Each structure stands twice: as structure tokens, then as C-alpha cells.
Structure 1
Amino acid sequence: MGPGFDCLGIALDMWNIVSVEVGGRGFEIYGHGEDELPKDESNLVWSSIARVFDEAGISMPAMSLTCHNDIPTTRGLGSSSAALVGGLVAGNELCGNPFDRSELLQIAADTEGHPDNVTPALFGGMQIAVVQDKRVVSASVPVPEDLSAILYVPNTSMPTEEARGLLGDSVPRSDAVFNIGRAALLVRALATGDLEHLDIATDDLLHQPARQTIFFPMKNIIRAALGAGALGAFLSGAGSTVLAFATEKEFTIGYEMADAAVKSGLSGEVVITRPTGLGAHTLT
């Protein structure tokens, strides 16, 4: 989330559904990634279920999986974290829930490598996540109930590893100070509902400038969102999605973001959603 690189994340009302049938065989994927994602034991959902069985010391039975994916892949929207957490929660349910949510978080963060996406996927809401002595410490942040999220989701992907490869191992002190202040302001703004300075609070110098070099429409889309009435806007995750926050004019903001993208030679779609306090859960 903007200046909260690898530390702040938020759950949006976008869902992947994993269906498991014990005793069956087969793997089906519908929706996003249906033609690209593996349909075998290398799939992240499958391997996450297997990880829980392994951690619990229980033999994994034969099963069939069906995934309905509404979260776009390789667009900075946490699709891999959703798959990972969905698999862990499903596996935990199948094993009789031997692990609580905090234990599942440790498994998820160990697998993902950083906790900012898996934490909101597991707990819902906006989450602060840090690592101390190889353990994840998380805290939830309340957000205004009338807050909307307007997404411009490009047809162009931004693989996370490629996007991370653009970042250096060190940053200037002034850039670190810039982000620390804005990350604190962002948390305060959303927690209190005082959104006056959210445009400033969502600015960043640690990762967006580097990613701008391979995703040049980003600045134009952010500028268009703010100009149309968005309270704040930033690159979602590693991109390529741009996310804007607003409490009104959502359709106007989405239109202007799409128009700016087209003028920059980029096609895609607008998705209007909102934060959700609900994390991964089982359906009966």
C-alpha cells in the first residue's frame, strides 16, 4: 500500500473459491489463470494443502480440487497469497483445524517470503505486518466503512520477481524518511477517518519510481485518479494494477483512470470494490 512497502496490506472484496472433494481426483481452474496456472501438485493451492497435512503429521488423502478465481493474476492484487492462504485454510479444515490463525500466518509468511499480502488474506481488513526474530507480528487497522477502492487492472502483467529485481539493496536516508512519515500518516488517516491528506499519505519513493521505468503509464493513471476526486492512489503491490481510494465519484474516477491509460497506450479494465474485514474462511 503506497509507502508501506512489504509492511502494509489490505483485503478487498474480491475472492477466489477453492472446492475440495476428498476421495476424488482431478484439478480444474476457472476464471483468471485458467490457461496458465498448473493443474497438478505444483499448484500453490495444492502444495499449501499438502504443507498443512505435512505440518500436522497426517497422510494426505486423494482429493480433487476446483478453483474459481476472481482475482487477476500477476497484477499486484495478491493472487498468489490468496491461493496460498486458501490452500492453508482448506488443508487446516480437512485436518480438523490443528492450527490456529496465528500459526497459519507463520506458515504462510514462511512460504511467501514476506507477510504484507498473506496477513490481510488470512485476517481480512487492513493489516500492519512485521517480522521479528523470524516471527510475524501483525496488527489490524480499522478503515472507514464508506471507503471504496477503484482499480485499474491493465491487460499487461507485472511479474513480481521482475518488479522486485528493479529495486536496489539500499535507499537514500531522505527516501527512507519520506516513506516512514507517509506510512505513519496513511495508518493514521485510515484509522481515524481523517482522509484530508490521503493523497500525500499514499505517495512513495522506495519502489514506485523504479517500477515507473517499465510501467510508464503509472504516473498518468495516478494523476488522473487524483484529478477526478480520488483521495489517494498508488501502485497496488508490484503492479500493474493502480488502486485509488475514494468515498464518492467512483465511476468518474474509474473512467478517468481508464482514459489516462488508453492515452498512454494501455488497455485494461476498471473494477470498483471496497475493503473487507473478512479474511479466508470456509463455506458450507
Structure 2
Amino acid sequence: MFEIRIPATSANMGPGLDTLGVAFKLYNKFIVEEIETGLEILGCDEKYANKNNLVYSSMLKTFKKLLKAPRGIRLTFKTDIPVSGGLGSSATCILAGIVAANRLCGDILTKQEVLDFACEIEGHSDNVTPALVGGMTVSIMENGVAHYNKVPISGGVKFCALIPKLQLSTDDSRAVLPEKVRLRDAVFNVGRVSMLIIALVNGDYEAVKFACQDKLHQPYRMGLIKNYNQITSFVKESEALGAFLSGAGPTIMVMLKKDDNDTEDKLKEFLKGLPENWETLNLEIDEDGLVIENI
């Protein structure tokens, strides 16, 4: 029996569509036991407690890849990451399934192979990479291989997630994206991705606010989130460093200076007057990524 702990993640980070991500100290935990036969899933919503469960289906794909036949499995979920909230819940399930099956088979896959397979299942690398290795990462795919580097963010930044009582599926959020974009919009994003990374490394906080701007996904997705424009306009006029849609949404991630508590208080007060019961959640960066321990 063993436990897998995987951090929440925030992907895209504004202009970094499908490439930038950061891991936080908010976790999903999965206890895995091999039993004689059958499947038992405990601790999750009844509608997910079946063979279509994303953890279990990822396990089956891994067993197939490793040419191994699974015995009975008992999965116990201890989850704190909101489902369909833009904080990487599905990435934790995919990674948990791959790592669980790999451990039961004797840890055949390397960490890189786990990452590559997770990206294949997920379809992109921006969530699974920081969830696996921790920290802020920039990642790309090349011929089925995930290449990444960790970004050493300056210690003067903290994150505050604005989370509505609303679920938004990744499929629905991706469906609104255009198949083609204008060259000037692509150039706009290339410049701001570059600026955002170097500004966070160097602690150039004045540059972060405009470096979070994006023209490839946020303008198309904001219509799916009630009060998005009101919230981002409020953040823009505040002392916050910047804000971006977390993953596919609906969570909005706000970056603040480490010692800025006033803006956080003002955000909480502003959100009280909006529908969807918005909540705030302070998040620290997790530098460790996925951890697996025998019980």
C-alpha cells in the first residue's frame, strides 16, 4: 500500500498557453492498494467511482503500455483541489494513475517516461509538468517528448486564487478557441511570455502586470465566466502585480507582492458583492512536485 501526493497547478499563466505552469501547496492524495480482484474506489463522488474514473483509466493505459495485467485495485481519494476549477485536478488524476501502475509493476518507467506518457494522455504539458516536478515550469513537446525547465521565481511574489462556485470543463473552454490566430496576436504573446518569465526571475514587478496580457485564449474564454471583466478591471486598478485565468478557468489567479495584504483584503471585499460566491485562497509554491510514500 502506498500514497501518492500531487500538487495543484495553475497553467497558461496569461500569455503562456499550454507552456507555462506553476505548482502550489494544495494537494490531491491517492492511496493505492492491490487486492485480490475487482475495483474499489473510496472517497470520491459516486459518479466517479467506477471504471471510467480518470485515475483508474490512466492506470489501465499504463498497464497496457507495460504489458502487465492488473490485479484487483482499491483507490482511496483524499482530494482538496476543486474539480473543473482550473487548478489541475485532472492532471493529478492522470499522474496518479500512471505512477500507481508503474509502482505496482516495479517502477519500470523513468520520471521522463512518466511525464511523456502523462502529456500524451492529457494532450498538453503545462499542468502535468509542474505537478510532477514542482515549481514554475516552461515546457514544450517535441516528437512526443516533453522538454522543460524550472523557472526560479523571485521570492517577493505570492499568489491568491479567486475561485467561484462554478465548474467549467476543459473541453468546453477549449471549444471556444479559434483554430487560427493573427500574426500580430502571436507576436504579442511571444513578447509577453518572454517578459513574464524574466520579470518573475528578476523581480521586476512593474513589468509583470502588462506581461500577463494575452490574445490567444483569455479573450475567448472570458465570456464563459460571469464577472470576469469586472474582476480583472478591479485587479488592474489595484496594487496587484497581475492576474490571469488559471488553466481553462473559471479560477482567476492574482499575483501580489509578498507583503501586500491590503490588496488581498480589498479583493475579498469586492468579491462579496458579486454572484457565484467567489472565494479567495492563498497559495504558496510547491517546489517538490509529486511525492510517493509507502504506508
Q: Confirm or deny a common fold (TM above 0.5).
A: yes
Question: Contact 2:160–2:254 at 8 Å: present in 1 too?
Answer: yes
Task: Give the counterpart of 2:115 among 76, 84, 105.
Answer: 105
Consecutive unaligned residues of structure 2, counting only runs of 5 or more, are 1-12
CA distance in 2, matches of 1:77, 1:174: 29
1:14 to 22, 26, 32: 26
CA–CA separation in structure 2 for the residues paired with 1:79 and 1:253 = 28
> Within 5 A, what are the aligned runs for 1:76-95?
76-95=86-105
From 22, 28, 33, the equivalent of 2:42 is 28
TM-score by length of 1: 0.92
Does the 8 Å CA contact 1:150/1:270 hold for their aligned counterparts?
yes
Query: How many pairs are equivalent?
Result: 280
Q: Report the CA distance between 1:150 and its aligned residue.
A: 0.1
Please provide the CA RMSD for this pair: 1.8
Q: Which amino acid aligns with 1:137?
A: H
**Partners of 1:23 and 1:17 in 2: how far apart?**
19
| CA drift at 1:14 | 1.1
Aligned residue number for residue 145 of structure 2: 135
Q: Provide Cα deviations, 1:211-256, integer angstroms capped at 9, x if missing partner.
A: 1222241222223334442211111011100001123356543443
Kept in 2, the 8 Å contact 1:109–1:136? The answer is yes
Structure with the largest fraction of strand: 2
Change (3 A) 1:246 1:110: same
2:188 is matched with 178
| Aligned twin of 1:193 | 203
Shift of 1:86: 1.8
Partner of 1:278: 288
Tell me the distance in 2 between the aligned counterparts of 1:56 and 1:199: 46
Match of 1:4 among 6, 16, 21: 16
1:148 offset after TM fit, Å? 1.5
Alpha carbons 1:9, 1:128 under 8 Å: kept: yes
How far apart, CA to CA, are the structure 2 residues paired with 1:191 and 1:200? 16
1:196 is paired with a residue of what secondary structure?
helix
1:229 aligned onto 2:243? no
Residue 90 to residue 252, structure 1, CA distance change in 2 (3 Å)? farther
Question: How many Å separate the matches in 2 of 1:131 and 1:277?
Answer: 22
**1:193 Cα deviation after fit:** 2.6
* Residues 230 and 244 in structure 1, CA contact (< 8 A), matched pair in contact too: yes
Which residue is 1:265 aligned to?
Answer: 275
Say whether the 8 Å CA contact 1:229–1:249 is kept in structure 2.
Answer: no
Deviates more, 1:1-10 or 1:225-234: 225-234
String of CA shifts for 1:16-62, please: whole Å, max 9, x gaps.
000011116521124xxx355x1122111112222222222222111
Q: Which amino acid aligns with 1:109?
A: C
Superimposed CA distance per residue, residues 102-160 of structure 1 (whole angstroms, 9 cap, x where no aligned partner): 10111101101111111111111111111222322222111123432100110012211
Maintained 8 Å contact 1:90/1:282: no
Structure 2 counterpart SS, 1:197: helix
Counterpart check, 1:116 vs 2:126: yes
For structure 1, the residue ranges without an aligned partner over 5 or more in a row are none
CA distance in 2 between partners of 1:151 and 1:253 (Å): 13
**TM-score normalised to structure 2 length:** 0.88
Distance 1:16 1:99 in 2: 22
4+ residue stretches of structure 1 with deviation over 4 A? none
The whole-number CA distance in structure 1 between the counterparts of 2:46 and 2:231 is 29
Amino acid at match of 1:86: A
Q: Aligned residues: percent identity?
A: 32
Q: Which amino acid aligns with 2:119?
A: A
